[in-house]
Every structure is written in structure tokens, then in C-alpha cells.
Structure 1
């Protein structure tokens, strides 16, 4: 398990991390999200030992994270850290050897990853000759090639088309299924919602919400209903404690936001008075909704 305990970090008079804590269990994908400057990259760099925390601790498997543990970590930075003029396969074998793999395992791991990531035919090409999407695949391969025990990924899906996202997601899931914990940051909240087992939302260096997406949805917040009624537009205008969140869809349905003290059955009664009710169901809040609520609080 990776544990982040009360991390604090300042840059001059700016507080980057303010008592940040969270944990990632074996075989868990943890989505680390927040606005630009919230402290995500600073946290990752402290985990990797690139930066030193002013206070707090990073623990791996119950012990303070040391150089040996970091050697067994795969890191993918947001900015590509590849050698552009080096050939893809040679570079991956070289990186695996730097992490301590013997030559035969380094080559076998490289070839397996190139195949898994759909770039086996580009192994002899220089990195600079690849498209940005394929460079991103190589960047992930560089994080995986030494068979790490922990993965820390900063915006791993940036610049990828949907096929590329699926390929990288499958490669990550294969590692997660062996018990490897994964921390990744992303501004693509729909992807985080789809791929992650749990999510942490950071604001101004503090964790303001953390847990599974379903768990976060159950913690209150704005309730939403999708209601379709055979009635003139505006039938819900003026209902106490109810706000029309979206205009009518092609089928006439609207999404209503309910104040905490509003009884949804009272809304249903109002809909029935207006006309025949064709649809009346709760709308689950998306991670985008949860994120907006958390950072606005």
C-alpha cells in the first residue's frame, strides 16, 4: 500500500501542500484530480523523491519510502522524458537495464510491451519520428518496462485518441490485476470516472473529497431528477426549492435540481398535475459534478 501522510510543502510564501493525506491499496487505480496548481504534480514528485516535503511522510508497504522502493516505481511525467533521437526499442531496453533488469528480461519485457501497446512495428524508429499519440504509448512503456511494483502517472492519456486510450487503459488494467497500485492525475474527468476504483479531489494542497465515485455520490450534494411530462414547457418553473438545470431534451425531458428539503414525491405530484408523466428518475451526479461541488465549497 502507498500512504501519503500529512504532506506539507511551501514555495516561498505559497503553500503547495497543506497536510495532504491519502492511501492507495494494492490493485487499486486512484484518480488524483484537481485544478491547475492544486498540488498534484508536487505530490507525485515528492513520492518519487524528486522533491523533499517540508513535513509529512510517504510510506510504502508500511515503511518510509526509500531509494530501493522508488527504484521499483514506474513514473510517467506529464512532459515527455524520452530521448527523441534514440530508437524506441533500444531506449526501452536501456531504461529497463537502468532499473536493474538483466538483459534478457529487459528485452523480453520491451518486446511484450511494444506488442501490447500496438507499436511493435515501430521499435526500430526514432522517437521523434512517431506521432504524439505513439510517443505517449512509448512513454507509458518506459514507465512499465522494468516491471514496477507501483505506478505514478501524470496525465497519461493526454493527446490520445479513443483507440489509444483503450490500449493504454488495457495495459494499465493488466498491471493492476497483478496487484500493482496506480496513481494517475488527469483533467479528463470522464476517463477518471470510467477507469478509477477511487478518486481524490485536491484543492489548494488539501484533499477535499476522496473515495469511490459511488461513495462520493452518496454523500449528499445536489439531487437531480430527469422528468418527462406531456405538458407545456415551463411546467416546473416556480416549484419551491426546484431549479430547472437543463432545457428540454428532444423527448421533452428536463433535469431538475432539488434543494435538500424538497420531497421528490411532491415534485412527482406536480408533474402529474401538469400532464402525463413519461419518465421520472434520479440522475446520478457525474465526477464532473462532484468535482465542481468540491472545489466550489
Structure 2
């Protein structure tokens, strides 16, 4: 691992100026969208670091195995498609030599480079031609493949699931996938039985009483309780920039010293290297994990109507 002691050795695309320019107005809904994108990118990082990335060698091996089985069973035929590359210069077409097969390390390195380019794209302005010849300036980060789709694991209480709303979820969002994965599994789970003949106030009061008893039994106090200043705290921490720095460090095998990173991120001395190490970076790492309690609490906050 390469340790970075000087600010000048940190890539310029991670600078404050780029992030300040790109995220001038960062609402909680915009922040939700941006953190969702980093969840997706961080999952790719984990595949690379944990050596669970699917490489071409595995595909080739499976294809050969499939060919043997097909030949043995004589039921299917394997069709091989050859792709040729060509270049035309002055009207003359020239066939290029096929690219040599890539090694596992080459494929992994390409994925690493792609992840770095993704980090760069988060703060890169793009241009688009219009029919009248003018160019519109837009931010690439404003676009997403699946509008409204995110890794939202925020429900603090597992929703009461029945046949009607379960299938409604499935029809509205084809990507909807819950754990447990089917209605029968939900029925087997511990349930909260509610007598709806009573008023909402009576039910809520009873639930609060049960909650007090449960916390005493489990000896567990709430960790996530402060909601009013939570989003402002994330923005003051420059949380998106810190998350991108963590992804960049992980995928490029670098480590910026905490005091150096504090000076890079907070030149006015808002936070120290010790605060980065003990508070801001642990928070950022938890937010990168879409399944963490921190991410769940974040989605709970941004989804609140007030």
C-alpha cells in the first residue's frame, strides 16, 4: 500500500473545488440519489477486493464444458461467432488483427480503471447538442438508468406483508426483492398482532410500553436518534467527497494520512485528522455499505415527509 503524505499527491479530480462546483445545492433528495450511486460502485469495489469478480477464464471454461455436454447429448449445437475489427483509411478497408485473450489480472485492472473513471464522472460536467445548434450543460450525475431506484433498506419495522401489497410491489417495481423472498417466509416470521378495534393512540401507547420492556430486556439503547441536524452534519463532513476518496484509496491501494487528508478536505481547520479517523471515516464507510444501520437511518431521514 502506498502512503500519501503530501496534498499534491492526491488526484485533482477529488479536490474541493470540483465538489463545491458540482454540489452547490445539495438537497436531501439529491444526497439520497448520490449515495445510492456510491452504493452501487462500492459493491463493484468489494468484488475486486474479495476476488469474487467474474472473469473471462471462467466463462471460457464453462463454454468448453457446455460444448462437451452438448456433443455428448447431441441435443444442442454450440454456435461460435467470430467478431472482426476493421479500419477504413482513404476508402480502403483493412482487417485488424484480433486482440489477444486477456489475462485475469488484465481484466481486474480494467475494472479498477473503470471504477476510477466512475469516481471522476461524479463531478464531470457534460455537454449535449440540441436541434437548434446550442449546447446544453448538464451534470452527468443527474442521470440514472433506473429513475427512482435505490438501495433503500430503511424500514425499521418489517412491513406487514400480505398477498395484495406483496404482488403490488412486484408489479410496480420489477427489481423489488425482499428478504425473506416470498410471502410464505413472511408468515413464518415473528409477527406483531394488532387489534384494530382499538384507537391508534391506544395501539401506539401499548407498543411504546412493550418497546420500553424490550429495551430493558435486551439492554440496548437507540444509537440512531438525532434527526434534525443529521443531513447538515453529512454535508459539513463533505460526505460524498470522503466516500469517493475511500473508494479511490481502496481500488488503487493508496492510503492518505489522516492529518494530510484533513488539511486537503478542511483547509480552514473545521475538522482534524483525529476527527476524520474516529468519526467521519467510520461514518462514511458505514454509509458505503447499503445494508448497514447507518444507511438504513439515512434513508429513514431523507424519506421523512417533514
Higher helix proportion, which one?
2
Structure number with greater Rg is 2
TM-score bucket (shorter structure): under 0.3
Higher relative contact order structure (alpha carbons within 8 Å, sequence separation ≥ 6): 2
Higher strand proportion, which one?
1
Relative to the length of structure 2, the TM-score reads: 0.19
Relative to the length of structure 1, the TM-score reads: 0.19
